[in-house]
Structures are given as C-alpha cells and as structure tokens.
Structure 1
Amino acid sequence: MSSTEQRVAIVTGAARGIGAATAVRLAEQGRAVAVLDLDESACKDTVETITGAGGRAVAVGADVSDEAQVQAAVERVAAELGRPTVLVNNAGVLRDNLLFKMSAGDWDTVMGVHLRGAFLMTRAVQSHMVDAHFGRVVNLSSSSALGNRGQANYAAAKAGLQGFTKTLAIELGKFGVTANAVAPGFIVTDMTAATAARVGMDFEDFQTAAATQIPVQRVGRPADVAGAIAFFTGDDAGFVSGQVLYVAGGPLD
C-alpha cells in the first residue's frame, strides 16, 4: 500500500447503533467506509453523516450469512472505494428465549448472522489485507459470551467469535493482519431495548437498573464501543492481536 492510499473499512450492521457510530468514527479518522447492512436504504443516514462531513462512504446491502451476497458486496466495495483492509464484523440479531422454548430456527438465525457472517466476511476480505501487507479485523463479541439467561444462542455465538478471533490472529499475523474482539456490556441500542421489552420493563427503568450494577454507574453508549474499535483498527495497535476487550464499565469475571 502506498503511503497516500486511503484505507478502506467495511463495517457490517452499520445502519444504526454501534455499527453506525463505528462507521462515523472510522471516517473521522480518515478512512473510506462501506456502510453495510441487510437493507441498503437503511444505511442512508450513516452515509450522509460521513459524506456531509467531507468523508467517503457507500451504502451496501447484503445478508452477511449469504455467501454469494458477501462476495458480491466485497467486490463492489473494492471497485467503488478501493481494496478493504479494515473489517468490523458487527452485524447481529437477537432471537432470545429460554432453552426449552428456543426453536432450531432461532438458534440457526443467530449462529448464521454472528458466526457464519463473520467467517464469510473475513474470508472474503482477507486476500485484500494479505496483498496490502496490512489488515485489521475487529469482531463484536459481548459480555453475554460469559453466559446470560435467555440467550443460549447469542451467548454461544459471541463466545464462538472470541475463539474465531484468536485463530485469525494466529493464522494471519505473519501477513501484517491483526484480529481482536470487542465485547460490550450494557450499551443503549435497539437490541437492548428489545431485551427490555422481552422482560417486560420500560427501557428507561431498564437502563437505570442496569447502571446500578456497573462500577462506573452508567450504561454505555455506541460511541464508547466505537472508540475501542477505532483503537484496534489503527496503526498504534499493530502489536496487539488476539485480544478480547470488554467495554462494560468495569471488570467482568
């Protein structure tokens, strides 16, 4: 990569929440950003925020669990923005339920988006990273990887992403590619709002209750996670790989 070539990032699940905050943060750091989500039109606000500030961005619609769509999306990004060398695997879904109520479809959907999606995206992008002798992969895990009632599928997927991350670090390190995971705790997003609804609580009350259990006495915001991701994608993190960083307002067991 020449010293003047702009690095290109792909952020999945970037229409809203943590993904949108991350896309904007990476653009602020000078990267061209592919804002990828299942519904391309839903990426409009994120793209406009970036381009309105003078950055480069493109909206890309793709189902990360679909092999053909992933390959087409990465090829499009390479053609329109340049070869991608930063990948943030953030796309995610919830299908919460207690184990005895959880359907096989609910299990498969969560595994497909989180684990299969991260695998397919990383496999499709890694050749660009290897060719550039530079790459940054950041996978979104979760504090739920440690276990969480009603989330057997989600917890298993997020724990799996930690193993996936460490293996990527081992396999791709010699090519100048690092892989790390960020594991958020309670972050105010549509997904935590859905969890509040599942347990029958008002979302504001849900946040207040959660904050009392967090050492810093507040819940997290998407920007908190975006900052951690931005560090892992930068030049200063070139000797940090295979790590899991919990962004949770305190220590976790």
Structure 2
Amino acid sequence: MANLLSIIRERTGDAPSLGQKRWLDSVEKAHRLGHETAQHKDAGEDSCPYSKTPHRECWLQAFRHARGREDAADNINRFGVPVCEWIAMAESDRQRIRLRGWYRRMKTNPLLLARHKAREAKVRVRIRERWRENPEPFRAKMREIYWADVETTRAKGREKYRRNRDKERARKHRSAMAKKAKREINRSPDQIFTLIDKAVPRALPGFARDEIVSSMCLAVLEGKLFIENIGQEARKYLTAYNREFDNFKTASLDAPVNGHDGTTFLDLLADETGGDR
C-alpha cells in the first residue's frame, strides 16, 4: 500500500484522490484475501468457509477465457461453419451455404431484393424464348433428371402440388383448355373462324379485321386463346393491333406521321394536298 502511494505521488505530484484511495483499498483487500487463501491451501485446509481466488489469478482466468473465445471464433469462417468442416465439404454443399447466406442478406436489403427479382424476370423470359425456339434439349434434360431418381422427383412433385394446390389446379385447367382449343380448330376450322369473325367488330376496315382475325386464329392454334374466351378477349387483340399500327389513339399535332419523312399532323392540316399523300 505504501509503495503504491509513493508511486502515485511521484507520477502525479500530489496526494491521491478519493477514487484512487478506493482503488488502492480494493487492491490491498484482494491481495490480502489471496494471501490468506494461499496460506490455507499450503496448510491443507480445503474446508475453509471463505476461499477466494487471488486478484491476479482472476485476471489471468478472464484473459484465458476471452482468448479461448477468440481462438474459437478464428476457427469459424464468415458463413458460421468451422474451418475443419468447411475444408471437408463438397463444393455443392459450400455453394448451398453461400447462397443461403446471400439470400438472408438479400431479404433484409430492399435494393438487393429488387435487383434479384428483376434479374430473375429477365432469366425467365430468356429461358421461355430458348424453350420456344428449341424445346427438345430442355425436355431431354428434364427426362434425365426424372429418371436419375424417380422416387425423389415424384415426391418433390407431390410436395409442390400440396403447397400450391390452387395454382396447380388452375395451371392444369389452362392446359386442358389449350388442348381443347387446338383440337377444335383442327377438327372444325370453319366453325372456329365463324366464332372469331362474329367477335370482331364489323365497323373496322376490312384490312384491320383480317389482321385481327388472323392473329386470333393463330392464338387459338398456339393454345393462347381458349374457345370459351373468344368473345371476351377480342377487345384485347383489337387494342394490340391499334398499338402496333398507331391507329385510333390520341396523338399530338407536332408528332411525326409514320411513313411521311418527318411530316407532322399540323403540316398535313396546313397543306391542302396533305391528305392525298
């Protein structure tokens, strides 16, 4: 205690403060208790009613405990997997753990989630286009996956149907309706053509009606238009035709007219011969 007080006076040049005195008292008490405990141990008195670890030993134990936690943390990689297990893992399992961590991080970041959804939409469109151009490689791959493990594939299919029962039923219904439309237009094309011709308004010009009827017949052949929906979806094909050929829509007088080399509608109104072009 006297040595500690002298050290404080040498460094500070004045008497110790109240807080320093309290700290010195605690150090002296810990030292005294540790000394008494050591004496009891030397004497073989294990049944001492009060036994406390010396102050220095407490610090050493706390340091060893913290160091052990740091060593354990060093042995775990950033994915939360011990390094020894990570080294022994297959690359497919590692990739699965990486994707799982990325997915958790993405769910908490709206920007990453929006980018992921946009990227998935582009990939789905590209896959559908490639499938439509050449479906045989995709079908061969699906057959290979199916026959590699039939029971597992069937179990996955049953689980998917159970989780999305309404969606799967609607998909099967659409597939059945598409097959029916293809069968009917191949069996009696005149009857289907009559239904489509009645659904298209006769007030349209002849060339416009022919284009719309042709597009609807092609949609029935491809299974995109069901026979029961011909009257309801005729308006959609009319809108698509007007959007494609710039007919029946509001346009500015300063907008250029298609096929007139930059001539605007205002120029046609100002020119007496503009309507004959």
Per the normalisation by structure 1, the TM-score is 0.16
Per the normalisation by structure 2, the TM-score is 0.15
Higher Rg of the two aligned structures: 2
More helix per residue: 2
More strand per residue: 1
